[in-house]
Homo-oligomer: A and B are copies of this chain.
Amino acid sequence: MLIVMKADATEREVADVVHIIQELGFRAHPVPGEQRTAVCITGNQGAVDPSHFENLPGVAEAIRVSKPYKLITLDLKPEKTIVRVGDATIGGEELAIIAGPCAIESRAQAFAVAEAVRRSGARFFRGGAFKPRTSPYAFQGLGEEGLKILADVREAYGLKIVTEALDEHGVDLVERYGDVIQLGARNMQNFTLLKRAGRSHLPVLLKRGLSATLDEWLLAAEYIMGEGNYNVILCERGVRTFAQHTRNTLDLAAVPAVRRLSHLPVVVDPSHGTGHNYMVAPLARAGVATGADGLIIEVHDQPEKALSDGAQALTLEQYERLVTEVRAIHEVIAPAPVG
């Protein structure tokens, strides 16, 4: 924390700030400048709350310096985390491809898509059994029935199942039927759910919230890791901005930003990240070009009949062409050095 005093702060006001810092058990380092004095704080474990200082007489601003996260940092673990799901990995040398329909609608649909996903060489199958829908009147997913279909897909094709849990009970169910627990954007700061996922033996794919800063996203991962589960995969899926040509604005700068701070793998979701079929392939390629560890893509055998998010689903043919392209781009990108 750095306390910046006003230009006209008195010596007494500076002394009072120093005193309060010391009372809180920290060390104060006043640095007199040309126009104003700043006071650095050291000796703190974790971040200091600026609110202790912001309204004191003579204080212009309290600026955070320490970052509040620990477990996600390269400081703690300089080598990149490779999340292992059976014999498949996310974060290693291979590009991880997680593909499947937005929602599981029927056994026939799931198997038709899974067939194509398997054929493409992807190792992960996605599909929602519990769908978080903005409207209570929209299709909410097949529930446990959908999870059973997913388990059968795993059995039939050897694909690892990535599926969303909306609440603690949902985590219980994903643990029974799936391989990776997906936590959605709307739940990124559902702390009860984060903690429950942190006590799971399954890896967690944590989507970035619709308006989450990098710090908030990393701290959500920290909530999971703080409970003992270190297998966290971050997923950039677009943020909310003023732009209206996309459903969300895919923030691909998040990929190098995560890399610079954290050892956790990061994948990109170009489907929710754009919301339009014609944008998915360009942005999927772009995600891989930034050095992301993988993609999560919506694919449907009959997108125009999808019960949710059909507008953004790729057809099987589009999906297969895309996989070829992204693998070629992945070859071009030398493995991004950590740090």
| A residues whose Cβ falls under 8 Å from a Cβ of B | 2, 4, 6-8, 20, 29, 31-35, 38, 40, 42-47, 49-56, 63, 65-66, 68-69, 75, 132-138, 166-168, 186-187, 189-193, 209-211, 213-216, 219, 222-223, 226, 239-246, 249-257, 260, 273-274, 276-279, 282-283, 285-291, 303-306, 308-313, 325, 328-329, 332-333, 336
A2 close to B288 (CB less than 8 A): no
A136 close to B56 (CB less than 8 A): no
Choice from B42, B54, B336 contacting A31 with Cβ under 8 Å? B42
Number of identical monomers bound together in the oligomeric complex: 4
Among A54, A135, A137, max chain B CB count under 10 A is at A135
Q: A286–B283 Cα gap in the complex (Å)?
A: 8
B134 close to A216 (CB less than 8 A): yes
Q: A279-B253, A289-B289 are in contact. Are A136 and B226 (CB under 8 A)?
A: yes
B54 close to A277 (CB less than 8 A): yes
Residues of B within 8 A of A214 (CB): 243-245
Residues of B within 8 A of A336 (CB): 282
B42 close to A33 (CB less than 8 A): yes
A65 close to B47 (CB less than 8 A): no
What are 15 contact pairs spanning A and B, CB under 8 A?
Answer: A4-B65, A31-B42, A33-B40, A49-B311, A51-B304, A167-B192, A190-B190, A213-B245, A214-B245, A245-B253, A252-B252, A255-B282, A260-B278, A282-B336, A286-B286
Choice from B33, B256, B277, B278 contacting A43 with Cβ under 8 Å? B33
Residues of B within 8 A of A137 (CB): 46-47, 68
Residues of B within 8 A of A132 (CB): 189, 191
Residues of B within 8 A of A45 (CB): 34
Q: A241–B211 Cα gap in the complex (Å)?
A: 9
Residues of B within 8 A of A44 (CB): 34
